[in-house]
Amino acid sequence: MDQKKERPGWEGRLPAMAPLANPYVPFQLEDPPKYEARKALVRGTLFPGLDLPFMGMVNQKEKPVTPLTELQTMAFAIQELALYLDTHCGDQEALSLYRTYQELYHKGMREYSEKYGPLNHATPVTGPYRWLDDPWPWEYCQNQEG
């Protein structure tokens, strides 16, 4: 099977002339294929080319859509694109996607904090002091919303 044709984004670029006694990891090519953000979260990467699971163990089911998982989804896409842009700062497609997810994140954060309280101490929320409201992030139970 021609893996390159079948699965674009699975190969990267190595230097044409590589000095000896150096370790090489190929550069991910620009504008690589990307998962949709909700799938990216459960796969642990936005990039199908880097999705290399152990013994075929893969999270198939996406997270139920809640204000919190939407926020986690957007934050994860932003983080993944940030790391990519740190080494590919000229990729305009990635930069524009990064900005799109930033907008969605801020919109989601406003909706989330109105309902569940502030995400951090800089989140503007009116009414009583809600920072101490349950649940704390490590305290969720199965089937608990959020």
Binding residues for other proteins (CB under 8 A): 15, 19, 21-28, 41-45, 47, 50-55, 57-59, 63, 68-69, 71-72, 75-76, 79-80, 82-84, 86-89, 117-122, 131, 136-144
CA dihedral for 138, 127, 103, 90, sign (positive or negative) = negative
Please tell me whether the peptide bond between 124 and the residue prior to it is cis, using omega within 30 degrees of 0: no
Q: How far is the CB of 114 from other proteins (least distance, A)?
A: 15
SS3 28: strand
Nearer to other proteins, 29 or 100 (CB): 29
Q: Which is nearer to other proteins, 106 or 140 (CB)?
A: 140
To the nearest whole angstrom, how small is the minimum distance from the Cβ of residue 111 to other proteins? 14
> Which is nearer to other proteins, 1 or 55 (by Cβ)?
55
Q: Dump the DSSP string for 39-79.
A: HHHHHT-S-GGG---STT----SPPP--HHHHHHHHHHHHH
Encoded tokens for 134: 């349950």
Q: Least distance (Å) from other proteins to the CB of residue 84?
A: 8
